[in-house]
Amino acid sequence: MIIRYGMLLCAAVVGTAVAGGGSEPLPLKARILSNETAHIPAQCYTKTEDVLGGAHNPCYACHTPSDTPNYLNDGDLQLAYDFPLPAERNPWRNLFEDRREAVQAISDEEILAYIRRSNYLDDDGNIIPAATLASVPPDWDYDDNGQWEGFVPDAYFRFDAEGFDRAPDGTLTGWRAFAYSPFLGSFWPTNGSTDDVLIRLPEPFRRNTDGALDLGVYKTNLAIVEALVREADVPIDPVDEIGIGGVDLDKNGSLGVAQKVVYDWAPLEGRSMWYVGQALAEQHSGRIHLAARLYPEGTEFLHTVRYTETEGPVAYGESVKIADNRLSARMKEVRYARKRYWMSYARLESRMAGELKEKHDFPDRIRTVRGNLEAGVSNDQGWVYAAMIEDADGALRPQSYEELVFCIGCHSGIGATTDSSFAFPRKLDADGYRRGWYHWSQRGLRGLPEPVRRDGLPEYAFYLETNGAGDELRENEEVRARFFTAEGDLIPERLDALRQDIAELLYASPERALALNKAYRVIVKEQGFVLGRDATLAPFGNVHEVVEGGTATGVQEAVSGL
């Protein structure tokens, strides 16, 4: 039930100062950890057994038998807590705070005005944090050279009909929004946050063989990446295969007009796939690589986490009320990932074998992570992660080293990811609305059918049944009341509605959305992110304060999360 720990990568200093614990807060650019296991998330401390001794399994969503080239296969962590000694006491103390009085002091009008004011774009459409980083404050400048050399936010969130982001002058930024089935639990609006994800491929993927920017080439390359990551054919708008570099996209044995990218990658059997345009020449030269379930080097993701706006309520059934939820203008976080270098299947397998041996030989050794707030942090699998988060007044600031280490566990240490990513493998099918290339501001979750697991079972219903709750921490009483009887049985009528519309489960009521928005605002004012980012009102009773490594979860048999 806990993330595997990586090999010791470099020396790191473990600090004793803990935010909110009475000591002075650490400087933002300090490279020390007040929580030396910051990469182990709060969800890993969930109590899996209820008061009657029944076992529930939220763990499978992350810890599951994996697909090559993710060689982790950590389904065994569904069966026992696998903590090293320093992690046995739960460091996420925000889970045990009582914020009801502080939340009650914030009026509905105050929180609505706050979340409706953008901290990312000013009134003229300019990117606020980019302007701040152009004259980097000294306490953000890690190497004290007077320049910010890390990621600078450059998406304008002005999307055209194909999901491409455009600057105010109409030029492409390279970012493209896509719609996806939200991953289980944390990023459902009912659990406290809305979010979106954009993808960007490097310049050669956007240019034709003559070197000119070519939207048709870019869309085709994005479809090729989608086919590789999902290991499936992808429908596309008609494309002249000769004009994009002479690549047989549909694998019909001749060059003509293709209307789909056929997934057919088996290099040991002599079958490969190729990018198009300028990226084809880069692939031939060996500067860009291609393999199933891996992104090419230079791939970028932009992930914003936001508060929840609500419209409604809208009545469904006799007693259930649910409001439409949407992204707030204000951003809680702006998260960024870039694939900095390529790792082959062999390198990834060798790395995982070494990590597992390290865990076996030194079970209490703590993973350390290379990086800092300016350069970002490495997951040791080719990716670097950087992010911004709200300061006490609500402006976006760089995340500290410790706040970034928080990201690494989920993006490098679980079986559920595909090349360290969550959202893109869950992209909506290309035969649907706008081929799945649109932003949630253009069309929300309302009306999307429930995703289906590989075994044919409805994914969210399986999660509710296996977990006995609607969140990893098993504390969401609104979902419990909406989908479960008092005896803990699922309500068939609610599952029927869910199959047709995932908003039935994922959306929060206006009351819950407002309360969780206020609770998170209190955490922002405290700047207590190193103690946890989950929006909580009352102390959680369903998480362990202390749990010994090796303790059985009570789950008798591991299940697949895929």
CA distance 56 to 26: 38
CB 70 within 8 A of CB 410: no
Is 403 in contact with 524 (CB distance < 8 Å)? no
Confidence category of residue 18, pLDDT binned at 50, 70, 90: very low
Look at residue 549 in the predicted model and tell me its pLDDT.
Answer: 86
Mean pLDDT of 205-232: 97
- Helix ranges (H only) for 86-195 are 100-104, 108-115, 128-134
Residue 69's contacts (CB-CB under 8 Å, 6 or more residues apart) are: 291, 293, 294, 345, 348, 349, 419
Q: What is the dihedral of CA 209, 214, 218, 221, to 10 degrees?
A: -30
Q: Are 555 and 50 within 8 A, CB to CB?
A: no
Distances (CA, A) of 200 to 152, 164, 292: 14, 10, 18
Residue pair 47/407 in contact by the 8 Å Cβ criterion: no
3-state secondary structure of 224: helix
% the chain with pLDDT above 90: 83
Contact 284, 275 (CB under 8 A): no
Residues, the chain, total? 562
Phi, psi of 41, deg, nearest 5: -75, 165
pLDDT level of residue 533 (50, 70, 90 thresholds): very high
The 10s digit of each residue's pLDDT in 370-419 is 999 999 999 999 999 999 999 999 999 999 999 999 999 899 879 999 99
Closest C-alpha among 181, 345, 164 to residue 268: 345
- 514 CB contacts (<8 Å, ≥6 apart)? 108, 111, 112, 310
Q: What average pLDDT does the segment 269-274 reach?
A: 96
Q: In the numeric block, which tokens belong to residue 118?
A: 């953008």
- Give the CA distances from residue 148 to residues 313, 407, 482, 486, in Å, rounded to whole numbers and listed in that order: 45, 21, 48, 55
Contact, 436 vs 428, CB < 8 A? Answer: yes
534, two tokens: 């989950």
Q: What pLDDT sits at residue 492?
A: 97
Per-residue CA distances from 426 to 147, 254, 404, 461 (Å): 37, 31, 24, 17
* 481-506 pLDDT per residue, tens: 999 999 999 999 999 999 999 999 99
Residue 513 has pLDDT above 80, yes or no: yes
Q: Which residues pair with 438 in a beta bridge?
A: none
Specify the pTM.
0.94
Q: Tokens representing 130?
A: 């980019």
Residues 6+ apart with CB under 8 A from 341: 297, 382
Question: What does the pLDDT read at residue 451?
Answer: 97
pLDDT at 352: 85
Q: What is the dihedral of CA 527, 528, 534, 535, to 10 degrees?
A: -60
- Does the pLDDT at position 339 exceed 80? yes
- Average of per-residue pLDDT across 240-261: 97
Give which of 525, 524, 559, 520 is closest to 537, Cα–Cα: 520
* 233 pLDDT higher than 70: yes
Give residue 16's pLDDT.
37
pLDDT, position 21? 43
